[in-house]
A = this chain, B = another copy of it.
Amino acid sequence: MNNIEQFFESKHIRLTAMRLLIYKFLAQKDVAVTLRDVENAFEKADRTTLYRTIKTFEDKAVVHQIDDGTGITKYALCEKGCNCDIETDLHLHFHCNNCNETICLTDHKIPQIKVPEGFVSENVNLVVKGVCDKCSGQ
Contact = CB atoms under 8 A, between A and B. Distances in A.
Contacts of A97: 122
Interface stretch (A1-9, A55-63, A126-134): A126-134
Interface in A79-138: 88, 92, 94, 97, 105, 108, 111, 113-133, 136-137
Give the oligomeric copy count: 2
A135 to B, nearest CB: 9
A39 interface: no
A122 B132 contact: no
A91 to B, nearest CB: 12
Interface of A: 67, 69, 71, 88, 92, 94, 97, 105, 108, 111, 113-133, 136-137
